[in-house]
Amino acid sequence: MQFALTEEEEMIREAARRIAAERLAPHADALDRGQGRERLLENLTLLARNGFSALNVSADHGGSQAGTVAFALAIEELGYACASTAVSTSVTNMVGEVIQAVGSPEQKALHLPRLADGTYPAGAFCLTEAQAGSDPSAMRTRARRDGDDWVIDGQKIYITSAEYAGIFVVWAVTDPDARPGKGISCFLVEAGTPGLVIGRAEEKMGQHGSPTNVVHFEGCRVPASALMGRENDGFRVAVGELAGGRIGVAALSLGIARAAMDAAKAYCVERSQFGQRIADMQGPQWMIADREVDLAAARLLILQAAHLKDEGKPFSKEASMAKLFASEAAHRCTDTAIQLHGGAGYCRDYPVERHARDARITRIYEGTSEIQRLVIARETLRQLA
């Protein structure tokens, strides 16, 4: 079994690490405090110019064509520095991949280069609704045919980067008489289209620098060419792309977890109690050891899922395993990091407080931990059958 990264993957990881350390990390705390939202836009533009907005998009359409392993490595490094920037970048890559997978030649030629070069600072993935979270087949947003157009009406919630998105991938019911999941289609809607209204930004627990908005569709008229893939086949597309998105969330989780534990280890080395460094006490040493196992195991699960995807093999179960373990590990790592800091970890003067808040959502978006367990069990039992 080959565990070594390719030369290109190593280069991409090092480039992401350098940009993250030099350009993202110095402003992460200010973004978390709601200062200078234009900074996120600057971050996304910088990353696009360096090839990080379309890592798995073909070079023919302006992408980096680097693969899923490289994508996971990059998102981990960005998440280590600034979770808000990393999640926006991950979703933009996800949008590029779905357009590449099912878009028409004209859709690919028009939109993928704009995602890749930053003309679109971000892409938005419009699936979740108030009554359709873990069960997206229950969505109520409708798209009806009107002559040569489609007219979309409905509301999507928790949409990452909506304020900055240049293109929206939107799922809507096109056959209300079909059984759940079978009458849903997928559309591409450009920012500025009449009837596309960006609503309020949520006041979130963490990842404050990345806006999460309600998106309204009020008689939003798009041409027939906006339909992506086959009519009424959109739910299958969504399920497939969510599996890929879970690799991104797992990598983000690992980046946050690493950052928290690196901060905690540095604190333990510097801080003394009872006449000795905290790092020399057995109790903290065991806490650090357990978290090191978490980090290593999460990384292997992520790389396994990413490798399978790059090889064109089934990876849904492995992506869910990676996302489940890495997000739960991020919770354990950030909690341990706070504990090792003592009272200081509960204060905003130290970064572990931010890391804990940023990590909490990773157990929810792109499918909750409970949904991941259902996917893993379903795929395991299907293999037995």
- Residues serving a catalytic function are 366
Tell me the two tokens of residue 205: 């627990």
Who contacts 73 (Cβ-Cβ below 8 Å, separation ≥6)? 5, 9, 12, 13, 16, 251
Tell me the two tokens of residue 116: 């890749």
The helix (run of H) or strand (run of E) holding residue 322 is helix 316-341
Of 306, 268, 290, 291, the closest CA to residue 359 belongs to 291
Contact in structure between 55 and 123 (CB atoms under 8 Å): no
Of 298, 336, 331, 322, the closest CA to residue 376 belongs to 322
Tell me the two tokens of residue 364: 């929810």
Q: What are phi and psi of 49, to 5 degrees?
A: -65, -20
Of 336, 337, 327, the closest CA to residue 359 belongs to 327
